[in-house]
Structure 1
């Protein structure tokens, strides 16, 4: 997981560390990049890397398809070829979904403070310094998250974390959805109230082009990122230890909210 100005910028799908991608398609390198983000502007930058135009063309096909607003089967049929040109690889996924990666005790970093254990939903993120000028006078435009974007963080008592980003058809085209997941060690340093998130692997899971997909991200090169952390009541605040000092605020989920 990366968070800050420098760390979150996808630097191209280079964040994928050599993951295969095809020019103009949304592939594993894009999802590795998304898996390292926290805020929505970072996700936007990941998709802009060779993927944005393809998604726009797919959305245009759906708009001209004549299909009903809720008829994803129709869209998949009419725009199947365009969808295949948008996402790669197109064949059925070779690997199985890992629904609970933190069940593997070897992923954890050891005991963590009780107050950070639990399920958290991203509630707010500060604006990166280089984005402030672009957002001035547009408080309700660029600064507002997409309606389909949801980010959650799970921290286990054994020091494992699971980060999940849900991208739905508002971003990926009608009938498409992916939950991009990354997981690894939640390494806490009690002396200076910092935590290092050491991402070890991930997956992007969901229906794409009418087929269930599990896109493995294990070949991506994930960079560890350090934050200062603070817990007040039901609020967890992470501040990136970078020049940007970008801040992310999470709200604790109740049992009814947790999936």
Structure 2
């Protein structure tokens, strides 16, 4: 759960086999909160493969909502894009925070709950790409990007980042889940986020996938936190001071997530 995927280089630069999108990319994404971070993770090795897959879908002659047709026509191209090719044998972990050992102890009540990312400030290195816009402008999550954070009273967090077909190619969807300890220091108003494991789950190339991320090496970033009403703000304790703003989920959003 880091604001800069470049930090993942400590765990080995995101890499794939023959330009494919693989677990190294999803480990990188699992440490992201904002979309610019996700974009960089995908650019590290698999962006061209995704572009080639999108071109295949465009030339397939399949209807815009006919994912089965695209899967059939572009199956080989899809297989070359993603790894592992067969359905993964790992079982899906639906509620990792049910394991009490994952948490880090008591968390302030106002932080406990389900949160949806609303905005993220721009890192300094991203500003040249957004030339002409005001300093401090926020990045709004794009339509094919959704990030949600769950914090339990026992100090466990679950970060869910959903990548839909606009990013992964028609008919492909992955929800990147990372979880671990949400360790709060109330005296300093800081939280250390210790990711312990994760999974990438969803249909890819017409097959259900559960891609384990437990072998990934994760950072332990520290943020200051602030809660005002239904808004949770996390500010990275790094030179960039990147800020992430979350809104407490409504009952309707909770039901949809479940």
Give the TM-score category using the shorter length.
Answer: over 0.9
TM-score w.r.t. the length of structure 1 is 0.93
Using the TM superposition, give the Cα deviation of residue 16 of structure 1 relative to its aligned residue in structure 2, in angstroms. 4.9
Where in structure 2 are the equivalents of 1:203-214 lying within 5 Å? 203-214=199-210
Q: Is 1:2 equivalent to 2:27 in the alignment?
A: no
2:34 to 33, 36, 39: 39
Q: Secondary structure at the match of 2:50?
A: helix
RMSD: 1.7
Alignment partner, residue 43 of structure 2 = 48
d(CA) in 2 for partners of 1:107 and 1:18?
27
Using the TM superposition, give the Cα deviation of residue 68 of structure 1 relative to its aligned residue in structure 2, in angstroms. 0.3
d(CA) in 2 for partners of 1:143 and 1:183?
24
Runs of 4+ that moved beyond 6 A: none
Q: Secondary structure at the match of 1:203?
A: strand
d(CA) in 2 for partners of 1:248 and 1:145?
11
Alignment partner, residue 121 of structure 1 = 116
> In the superposition, relative to structure 1, how do residues 20 and 138 fare at CA in structure 2: closer, same or farther (>3 Å)?
closer
Task: Return 5+ residue gaps in structure 1 as ranges.
Answer: none
Using the TM superposition, give the Cα deviation of residue 23 of structure 1 relative to its aligned residue in structure 2, in angstroms. 3.1
* Residues 15-24 or 100-109, more deviating: 15-24
Where in structure 2 are the equivalents of 1:21-32 lying within 5 Å? 21-32=16-27
**Corresponding residue pairs, total:** 252
Alignment partner, residue 54 of structure 2 = 59
Q: Is 1:93 equivalent to 2:88 in the alignment?
A: yes
Residues 216-249 of structure 1 show CA distances to partners (whole Å, capped at 9, x for unaligned) of 0000000100000000000000000000000000
Task: Return 5+ residue gaps in structure 2 as ranges.
Answer: none
Q: Secondary structure at the match of 1:112?
A: coil
d(CA) in 1 for partners of 2:80 and 2:133?
34
Using the TM superposition, give the Cα deviation of residue 191 of structure 1 relative to its aligned residue in structure 2, in angstroms. 1.1
TM-score w.r.t. the length of structure 2 is 0.94
Contact persistence 1:155–1:162 (CA under 8 A): yes
Q: Is 1:215 equivalent to 2:211 in the alignment?
A: yes
Contact persistence 1:16–1:28 (CA under 8 A): no
